[in-house]
Amino acid sequence: MDSLDELTHELFTFFNGFSSWENSVIKTSELSVSEAHAIEILGTHGQMKMKTLAGHLGVTTGTTTVTVDRLEKKDYARREAVKEDRRIHLITLTQKGQQAFAEHHQYHSNLTEQILSVLSVEENQQLINILKKINAEAF
Amino acid sequence: MDSLDELTHELFTFFNGFSSWENSVIKTSELSVSEAHAIEILGTHGQMKMKTLAGHLGVTTGTTTVTVDRLEKKDYARREAVKEDRRIHLITLTQKGQQAFAEHHQYHSNLTEQILSVLSVEENQQLINILKKINAEAF
DNA sequence: AAAATTAGTTTGAATATCAAACAATCATAA
DNA sequence: TTATGATTGTTTGATATTCAAACTAATTTT
């Protein structure tokens, strides 16, 4: 097996491990996968309009309407009117939504610690360095 | 921002980039996400029974029945009887299914090359080394 | 002011998913 | 060897997810 194949294999094994970990974490919450993703985006980037949220989620605005409806019903988010343009609604996390975001972030930190525990200090630095490069340039 | 937070951020940025890349690749095909996942698992591990496939997919056997029905209808996979135990069906990729798997694998290689292009030879080696450790021990 | 554009919602259809009930087959124990 | 129990996979009924296209309301352009 050449180096390209080897890296491909390790990359996708890693990705799949991450995926199933993420899914199992979400299943412990009261949220669906799409709701959890919306909360993560809103928590990370702050309030935004429907169209921007749809863009981040990679789905249509129609789908996003439904997701935000459910989040609103469960009191994780709310729509806020904008005076300057009454077509626009800013989606904002409620207290409960921010709480859920914080909890989810804690889970992420836990996984990172788990990963760190199998790496040396030097490897940790290498990994940060490499990920920064990839994130900035590769996608 | 401490080192743990920094790594958490880079890890999940990387994971999200990977996710949306994977989804956009699947959207170019005639396959749904769940069908593509099933093909990837069957292509990687070879033929297996429903229950094992369901386990790999992280869904119930009921859901897997539906997925395999569709793959069979589109001629990507077929059920094979087992003489020793007639309850079991081995799910096998057809020629067309293997073709689809090969194409998908090619996409994966392309992404890996894209990632490699922003790394030095040394960083490439570091990344393989680190991923191997994580995949073997962390999840 | 009319026409075109934009933001978001609704609708109708296909797919995804689960839990629970079910049918067929196999294994075990009396 | 039969009766009981366990396993494998399918079906069913319900809810969730998603999209494209039609639609409404508001804003911008001409």
Q: Is residue B13 part of a domain?
A: no
Q: How far apart are the C-alpha atoms of A98 and A108, rounded to whole Å?
A: 15
Average pLDDT over residues A96-121: 95
Tens-digit pLDDT profile for residues B6-27: 999 999 999 988 888 898 899 8
A42 to chain B nearest CA, in Å? 15
Q: The tokens of B62 are what?
A: 């009921």
* Interatomic CA distance for residues B96 and B102, integer angstroms: 10
Q: Considering the domain boundaries, does residue B61 fall inside one? A: yes
B126 occurs within a structural domain: yes
Task: Provide the domain limits for residue A84.
Answer: 19-137
Question: Which residues have CB under 8 Å from B78's CB, separation 6+?
Answer: B72, B91, B92, B94
* Min distance A67 CA to chain B CA atoms (Å): 18
Nearest-nucleotide field for B54 (CA, C1'): D9
Strand order in the sheet with A77-81: A48-49, A89-93, A77-81
Q: How many domains does chain B fold into?
A: 1
Q: Is there a domain that residue B17 lies in? A: no
Residue A138 pLDDT > 90: no
The separation, in Å, between residue B62 CA and nucleotide C15 C1' comes to 14
Q: What pLDDT, in 10s, does the model give residues B91-126?
A: 999 999 999 999 999 999 999 999 999 999 999 999
Q: State pLDDT tens for residues B57-83.
A: 999 999 999 999 999 999 999 999 999
pLDDT for the residue numbered B138: 77
Return d(Cα B107, Cα B105) in angstroms, integer.
5
Residue B15 located in a structural domain: no
CB contact (8 A) between residue A126 and residue B130: yes
pLDDT tens profile A3-55:
899 999 999 999 988 888 898 899 889 999 999 999 999 999 999 999 999 99
pLDDT value of position B85 = 96
The CATH number for A125's domain is 1.10.10.10
Within B28-94, where are the H helices?
33-45, 50-57, 61-73
Residue from A124, A7, A24 nearest B139 by CA:
A24
- Tell me how far apart the alpha carbons of residues A93 and B41 are, in angstroms, rounded to a whole number: 37
Question: Are the Cβ atoms of A138 and B17 closer than 8 angstroms?
Answer: yes
User: Which nucleotides of strand C are protein-proximal, with an atom < 7 A from a CB?
Assistant: 6-12, 15-21, 24-27
User: In chain B, what percentage of residues exceed pLDDT 90?
Assistant: 86
In a domain, B109, yes or no: yes
Tell me if A109 and B8 make a contact (CB, 8 A cut-off): yes
Specify if B85 maps to a domain: yes
- Using CA atoms, how far apart are residues B69 and B54, in angstroms rounded to an integer? 13
Note whether residue A3 is domain-resident. no
